[in-house]
Structure 1
Amino acid sequence: MKVIDLSMPLYTGMDVFPGDPEVKIDVVHTYERDTWELRHLNMGSHTGTHVDAYSHMHEGKETLDEIPIERFFGKAQVVELCQDWPREVGLFFIEEIGIEELNRIIDLNPGFVGGNITEDLERALLDKDIITYTRLINLELIPKGKTFMFYGLPLKIKSGDGSPVRAIAIIEN
């Protein structure tokens, strides 16, 4: 079994989407002074590697705490535009994919889609109750077309529109 970390590290000053809150992580307590460590995190809900709830782009749709936890993990594949894609398996794209592929994706009934997807495609997928993941890293380390288990669990934010995740791929040998 091989585990691949698909998550960006979070740190003060990291790149964010224009207009989103800047990331600031401050040490509040230290071992030397307090005998424990604690950090104050200040960032937007769509910082770094993150998942988008349907409500992110569609008023009245389900929020993070309303989407069943089972929707945030499952079988997946890294795929290319030029190949056949599997049915009912999460799809991840290294190359950019846009709205023109919406019907192809919907016909395959994936539980989630992620990687290099355009904002228009993200909006359309969320409208169809397909969860989206963005700012994933290390997808190129996963063999294309090989099924693996993906986990991208969000924080359970009440009425949350999105959340940073620790996303991983587990590949069986």
Structure 2
Amino acid sequence: MSSAEDDLYQQIVMEHKRAPRNFGHLAHPTHQAQGTNPSCGDKIAVELELDGEHIRNIAFNGQACAICMASSSMMTEAVKGRDVPLARQLQGHFRAVLTGEVEPEDVEIGKLVALSAVRRYPSRIKCALLGWHALMHAIAGQGGTASTETSHSGA
């Protein structure tokens, strides 16, 4: 990994924190879920417009740290207009990178690679995955609140 990839707060991460993409609410969401991280107070809500297995639109809102906001923003860009199976696969790859199960260069995660340095900070992994947990709960139609406290490998 280059020194730029080692930097937790890369320029792209800070850009997504300052100006998060798809931040706000959808007029008519078909699915939604909230994510909370009780250990740090991060709260993210994800709203989707699903058309069958296609993510027609996505938005998120809430208050969270820079890593959580940037990851959620980057997540919305990565899955908007894509199919649900691809979103699930991307979430699995991203999670595997952050938890150290695979190296960032061994899977295709696109711009999300900018967050791969999070894996060196175990307490921040939950921050980077919170929006993704909420997304997966929304897709599953479970709604409610997803908590990072119940997830595997400390993430």
TM-score by length of 1: 0.26
The structure that is strand-richer by fraction is 1
Structure possessing the higher radius of gyration over alpha carbons: 1
